[in-house]
Chains A and B, each alone.
Chain A
Amino acid sequence: MRTTLGRTPYHVVAGGLAVIFLFPLLWNTWASVSEQPGTAQDSGYGLGNYRTLLDYDAGLWRYLLNSTVVSGLTVALTLGVSLLGGYAFARFRFPGRNALFLLTLAILMVPYATLLIPLYVLLGRLHLQNSLIGLSLVLAMFQLPFATFMMRISFEAVPRELEESALVDGCGTAGALRRVLLPAVRPGLITVGLFAFLAAWNDFIAPLILISDSEKAPLPLAVANLRQQSMGAVDYGATEAGVVVLAVPCLLVFLLLQRHYVRGFMSGALKG
């Protein structure tokens, strides 16, 4: 340690690593707007590759809409179920409480791929195969262990007196939840929503298996297909533009809500 970290100036090591970490992101963004033979942008700088994306198959707007719908539904479902579940596990006693909590956490123990094959059949029986709603239901399920744990500890951290005074004031438990507890657990909700959004926006294998219609593909699947389907010459430029469109919302959301993201790590909820 002394010989390596001690003598080399900290800024040289940390800065050098920062360059390596940033380079792929910066290069990809630059390449997406710069001149490349064999792409729509074959001379000078410009947005040709992005225009290719707009016209590809069902069109960029369609895929963005699909991704937005899936991410929105997944976040809403995860928040709704884990808010009520977290409240129940933290504040109520009922038969089967611990068993249900452990069973929810057990979702973490089962590999993603193991569940996707039967879910493919099951969604078919529920007429939710090849549907964005079915996909969102599945994606939200994989968020439940983290979300339920996070909401449970968020509710447990709220002083009990707060809820009791609301109950004395004549609120039912639903009223106490809405008026008093909801604002108190908001940081937990933001963390859960952030994790659910990033997971849903970026997921690849679930739509690959559950969505067969290219019109309904979320953006990661559409960009991967764009690359595979172009016969002969590969369109690197359009792929690079696609990566930019995929990355920008994630990076923005992460940079804005960084504090809430880190809380997910501090909570112990990742100790699965």
Chain B
Amino acid sequence: MQVKAPDRTAAAHRAGPEDRPARRPRTTGPLWRSRTLQGIGYAAPTAVYVAVFFVLPLLLVGQMSLSDWPLIAGDQGRNAPENFTDVTDSTLFWPAVRFTLLYTAIVTVVLLGLALLLALLVQESRPGAGFFRTVYFLPGALGLASASLLFWGLYSPTTGPLSRTLEKLGLVDDPVSFLGTPTSALLSTVFLVVWKFAGFYMLILLVGLQRVPHELYEAARMDGASRGQIFRGITLPLLRPSLALSLLLCVTGSLLAFDQFFVLTKGGPDNSTVTVVQLIYREAFQRLNLGTAAALSILVLAALLLLNVLQFRGLHRADES
């Protein structure tokens, strides 16, 4: 998080024009009081909003995870830790965890690799670079559900163009079912996600690339460094903050994957592509048990907080060395 520390001299200005000669924050008197009260007034909508729609649900999900809570009947009292044991004993739980981790690993490597390639390709002001940037980003403006619906048609063995083209070229004899086996369903979904998000991560990396001073490149070139040496010695180290941000966003987003599998594979074939968040949805709205859904939500929250702490620490250590 980039949070600016409160600026004390600026605070003195803020107290109003009359305070300017003294440059000292006034901590008493009607002016300070009214300024403070006005600040509270302007912040009040945010405070109410965050309290009602963020803090309250967080407390509620904790309570729900410890209670017997069917969807229709509502709260039936404490049953802790039954919801948690129910979740971890479920036959779908560990396969879903394994699948989510596998998907996250594949997507992260492919997506960030391609995004880096795209960013390097369009970073300089070559002819058409602006056009290509826009084109690569365009899928990013679509929603993930819309993109999944689009690829569902694209992958169709009967009417989709991919299968028909392969047949016409004589590469396959029968229509290809891109979503038919666990492996092909996973890889087809990865392709969709990479198509949809590559431009987004390209933009983040481009912002990082623009922070690399031009003189550094020129100096390295004058010293006779090769392109590979410049990339490894200058670009990559200076790009590290942007890469770290992309990594965090990509890992978090992939661990919480839902839309693409719900729309494209529906968790199939044979429940082979069920993610953890899909499991939350199934618990709540197919098995009609909000208690276990809440317990699962708490586990996901804990895992993500742990991940954030680990990544923050890793970055911190890397900065020190």
Which residues of A approach B to under 8 Å, CB–CB?
Answer: 1-2, 5-6, 10-11, 13-14, 17-18, 20-22, 24-25, 27-28, 31, 36, 38, 80-82, 84-85, 87-89, 91-95, 97-98, 100-107, 109-115, 117-122, 137-138, 140-141, 144, 148, 156, 160, 164, 167-168, 173, 198, 201-205, 208-209, 220, 223-224, 227, 236, 239-240, 242-243, 246-247, 250-251, 253-255, 258, 262, 265-266, 268, 270-272
Contact = CB atoms under 8 A, between A and B. Distances in A.
Nearest to B291: A117
Interface of A, secondary structure class, is helix
B80 interface: no
Given A173-B42, A271-B1, 11 more contacts: A1-B231, A5-B227, A17-B118, A95-B40, A100-B46, A113-B258, A118-B56, A205-B277, A250-B143, A254-B137, A254-B138
Contacts of B151: 24
18 contacts: A5-B121, A84-B44, A88-B46, A92-B42, A94-B43, A103-B54, A105-B3, A109-B308, A110-B58, A111-B252, A114-B297, A115-B61, A117-B294, A117-B297, A118-B64, A164-B16, A167-B17, A251-B141
Q: 3 closest A-B pairs (Cβ-Cβ)?
A: A202-B143, A92-B39, A88-B42
Given A6-B227, A81-B46, A224-B263, A105 B290 contact: no
B159 A36 contact: yes
B178 to A, nearest CB: 13
A22 B138 contact: yes
Given A115-B57, A118-B57, A148-B46, A203 B143 contact: yes
For chain B, which range describes its interface: under 10, 10 to 19, 20 to 34, or 35 or more residues?
Answer: 35 or more
Contacts of B198: 21
B227 A2 contact: yes
Interface string B120-137: 111000101000101111
A160 B50 contact: no
Contact of A103 (B55, B144, B226): B55
A202 B139 CA distance: 13
B232 to A, nearest CB: 9
A93 B36 contact: yes
A144 B50 contact: yes
A58 B281 CA distance: 25
A121 B64 contact: yes
B161 interface: yes
A74 B301 CA distance: 25
Contact of B297 (A17, A94, A113, A198): A113
A220 B46 contact: no
B135 A137 contact: no
Interface in B177-221: 195, 198-199, 203-204, 207
Nearest to A94: B39
Interface string B292-321: 011001101100110010000000000000
